[in-house]
Amino acid sequence: MTAAAVETPVCSAKGCRADAVWVLAWNNPKIHTPERRKTWLACEAHRAHLAEFLGVRGFLKDVVPLKDWEAQDV
């Protein structure tokens, strides 16, 4: 496997290229079924800002450490 094949997830904040350490699971109830979860990734510096953005809209469902989220997929 090449180094290019293993990419480190990066923060979803505009212009940020920092490594992601958090997963923000969200859902827009006007267009998604209740069980559907979309995700944004966040670095430590942008976690609160992205969570607030989703939270004030009523979209935020969960904030989970990336390592725990990845372990759920196993």
Q: Does residue 54 belong to any structural domain of this protein? A: yes
Q: Does residue 11 belong to any structural domain of this protein? A: yes
Give the domain extent around 48: 7-72
Q: Does residue 2 belong to any structural domain of this protein? A: no
For the segment 15-38, what is each residue's pLDDT rounded down to a tens digit?
Answer: 999 999 999 999 999 999 999 999
Torsion sign across C-alpha atoms 14, 48, 20, 38: negative
Domain count for the chain: 1
Q: What confidence tier does 7 reach under pLDDT thresholds 50, 70, 90?
A: confident
Q: What confidence tier does 3 reach under pLDDT thresholds 50, 70, 90?
A: low
Q: How far apart are CA 46 and CA 19, in angstroms?
A: 11
Q: Does residue 36 belong to any structural domain of this protein? A: yes
Q: Does residue 1 belong to any structural domain of this protein? A: no
Q: Does residue 47 belong to any structural domain of this protein? A: yes
Q: How far apart are CA 25 and CA 21, in angstroms?
A: 13
Q: Which residues fall within 8 angstroms of residue 25, CB to CB, at 6 or more apart? A: 37, 38, 39, 60, 61, 62, 63, 64, 69
Which whole number is the average pLDDT over 3-9?
Answer: 68
